[in-house]
Structure 1
């Protein structure tokens, strides 16, 4: 670690005195259910709220980095290096490094140690200072180069994320939506689709071989005779990369749904155009070169991908009864200044153990949420430019299992796990007013080249 302290001076954007949009009251009673017949969910990869959306300036209430001086240390164990690397509006189209996002690595990012005392964390007495992202980056890549390490906390300007920014300005942006697990992709995707990862804390082989035994949203929907499809541009077998999320589960294979309900992404575009999307559409991008935002996938290509998905949904004959949710499975090791909630219900009683950088074991009980991720609620039935903060119903927070809790309310499904019961839902954001001003096309991505 570098022992000397060199302050990185960052010129943060000045306060934007935009007038917050009018908040439109939600549909009364159960009226909102009559407006939403189809739900589309796209789960992208590996970006935190701050580094991806923290530079958005259209609404001054967004809890990002424009009005927050966010700094880390190259050596979190040295108090003299409290803030020697600060976030700035200079994130790259392609991140030079893929930050560590294992559970032990995220411990360092959140607590400045690989070994927080989980009992003290649950009691609220071991604080997440959110200052270990740069330290973990330095350790993971054995670099003392502050410019290189700072990429883990730098953020994008509105011009660099024109597509996502346009979607946020036209619909609902959540600025307090947390990943389900402070760890990697597949445990988060399992929580998102079943309310638990069944004790899995890394992207192990069980996800590649239909190895998870728990009941999923896909099984639930089939049991309720509600149509669904997992459209994917991923892979469909062990050793080939990431499976589509429906292929995590034993039931999907044993029931034969892997043959009937998992389809190539091209079929999504055709079905959207024809107006034949199922009640529940779940989309997996490829990972991790050109669609997913996961390094080394360029931001520009990820933006182009979500533009295409949005425009397919928006211009579908089913648009007037559709709710489209765009989120990111986890923060991917990128920095964020908001501590995730602790002492929340886990999906089950299983724990996970791995070895940290220092060779010592850490054990995680899934009673903490992951880092904030950018999330949008898109429909002609939601307000324009709304920024949604902390969840207000069910007593919990917004996280990935909020989607399951919402679907449970929409279609009368039973509750999968205690984590789903805890999660705040968002039906109050569905309004009584149909909007005819939603854009049919979005801007083209920022021309880096």
Structure 2
């Protein structure tokens, strides 16, 4: 039993730590002004596991914190097939003869109802039965090498979610305004302001379901570009006339009715073209804020090919990294929604009934459901302050990009608040600032896997996807790879690359971790002594050319279990073999015998691991680890070995 005095002391120390952390955060946030240009670039319809489940060092197929549904791990999706009761994730190109055809494969639906059915009230067991068996398929590095090399050059977020459990338009609307006006809460009456915008509807008026009116269009609430305009912050939307109808500003009445030559008309819904972006990046004249809207054929939206989209990403990346502005630019790459592809991580959702988040489903009023956040999508940031192949672990969604923009604007003396964003998102989604290491910018550019120019037809139009669909999917049913019902092993299905990523941001579940400190010739890491069930530390010789030699020791591998919700900083710490750590340094088999540790993140110094006012540390006595009065900061690495 913990004494009152110990709790009081812990509270006092924690208050001091928080106070110091707040002061450091303020100073750190001021460094945001070093960024002079922010580029927002959103692609289409891919899930995190679908692209990066096999990547080393992320919350992928090696996740130790797996959801159980009906005593089955989430990997085992029910099939309703006579060939097998369950389907594990599967590599779409296991048979290489399908490598070309899967470039234009359509897996499932991204609409509101099919995706809520896949979510299935938190069971996450409907990817196969409520979408398709191909929804549970994934790609590897060999399939999307450019994507992998970009991510490994900079920093990926592995807890970044779509904002809405639904399709493109609602997610892109949130991206630029912070809301879809669910339940008429933010910003108000749908018949007056538009919404709740849950589908890709662009017909004036409201959809109806009995007495329910929803998807009222056009939308009429304020967008972030209007806040920028009021603050005198320069901005522009770069798009060609072929923009796949992906520019969310165009769905708002104020842009539709804007006078020719006005800021909203010329900056928000004009067609200057992507070439204008490339030219301005090259000559150093980009505005402070840019949005890039790509053409349909390069969007990666099935059946559009990932590798055609990779070429566009590389084109944008090259324009920025070769620009005289690169050392003051942040390129934020995201995907609007999953496209019907599956992901295994339960969405970080608000408590049932949260205002502005939950409502009776307009399409199925018998159900009371959340609008989001939804499933994870790929997300990464390219800048000198995100170099190094790291992983950012804070719960985030498209609102996070707006929150980051608010923080940045504040740092340059142009404070604004997107009032349309509901309080729960504002208070719980990351503002992404911890993703950046402003103390250690790296200006060199890593090697990127080059991708060939997309195929074009005689008119100069991109036609790679049409050649693919005409060759492989001329008629229904689609000639997709055969589903490996009854032919899978868990080990093969959940294959993951070997390697690691350094962790940034507040810690969350989902990874095997190495806790390491020191920057000299030797580094020190916690380890589990299996014989004595004790926490020890090991000294490893630094291998600058092969860090894997430092991080691959299985005894150093731990994982955490959050106590409370996904935003808690309190954790149980477990060895890779499943033993729980007690503050005494001993390990025990059951959670009841374990201690709860607070793990706090400092952007500059790393992680503190605390228990009742003391700090977990490597002690001076050789090989012994335990609690100390003096703080020791650790780097944390997410490892896959």
| Shift of residue 34, structure 1, vs aligned partner | 2.7
**362-371 or 425-434: bigger deviation:** 362-371
Other-structure match for 2:118: 109
Gaps of 5+ in 1: 1-24, 117-127, 139-148, 392-396
Other-structure match for 2:401: 403
Other-structure match for 2:105: 96
Other-structure match for 1:87: 89
Partner of 1:283: helix, strand, or coil? strand
Other-structure match for 2:630: none
| Shift of residue 354, structure 1, vs aligned partner | 4.7
Alpha carbons 1:195, 1:420 under 8 Å: kept: no
Where does 1:331-346 land on structure 2 (aligned, <5 Å)? 331-343=338-350
Other-structure match for 2:34: 35
In structure 2, what is the Cα distance between the partners aligned to 1:349 and 1:170? 36
**How well do the aligned residues superpose, as a CA RMSD in angstroms?**
3.1
In structure 1, what is the Cα distance between the partners aligned to 2:298 and 2:113? 27
In structure 1, what is the Cα distance between the partners aligned to 2:197 and 2:368? 10
Among 131, 135, 153, which residue is 1:137 paired with?
A: 131
Other-structure match for 2:311: 304
In structure 2, what is the Cα distance between the partners aligned to 1:326 and 1:294? 15
Partner deviation per Cα, 1:270-309 (whole Å, 9 max, x = no partner)? 111121111111111223xx21111100111111111111
Partner of 1:377: helix, strand, or coil? strand
Where does 1:22-421 land on structure 2 (aligned, <5 Å)? 28-57=27-56, 59=57, 62-65=58-61, 70-75=75-80, 82-83=85-86, 85-91=87-93, 93-111=102-120, 116=121, 128-138=122-132, 149=133, 151-198=134-181, 199-205=196-202, 211-233=218-240, 235=242, 242-255=245-258, 256-261=262-267, 262=270, 263-287=272-296, 290-343=297-350, 348=356, 353-355=361-363, 361=365, 366-389=370-393, 391=394, 397-411=395-409, 412-416=415-419, 417-418=421-422, 419-421=425-427
Alpha carbons 2:104, 2:302 under 8 Å: kept: yes
**Residues 398 and 349 of structure 1: CA distance in aligned 2, closer, same or farther (over 3 Å):** closer
| Shift of residue 258, structure 1, vs aligned partner | 4.5
**Residues 352 and 285 of structure 1: CA distance in aligned 2, closer, same or farther (over 3 Å):** farther
Partner of 1:42: helix, strand, or coil? strand
Alpha carbons 1:159, 1:446 under 8 Å: kept: no
TM-score (norm 1): 0.76
**Residues 362 and 298 of structure 1: CA distance in aligned 2, closer, same or farther (over 3 Å):** farther
Alpha carbons 1:311, 1:442 under 8 Å: kept: no
Partner deviation per Cα, 1:86-124 (whole Å, 9 max, x = no partner)? 21223554243241111110122111xxxx4xxxxxxxx
Partner of 2:391: helix, strand, or coil? strand
| Shift of residue 223, structure 1, vs aligned partner | 0.9
TM-score (norm 2): 0.54
| Shift of residue 351, structure 1, vs aligned partner | 5.2
Partner of 2:38: helix, strand, or coil? strand
Partner deviation per Cα, 1:185-215 (whole Å, 9 max, x = no partner)? 0000011110012311000015999821111
Alpha carbons 2:224, 2:418 under 8 Å: kept: no
Other-structure match for 1:6: none
Other-structure match for 2:472: none
Structure with more of its chain in strand, by fraction: 2
Other-structure match for 1:4: none
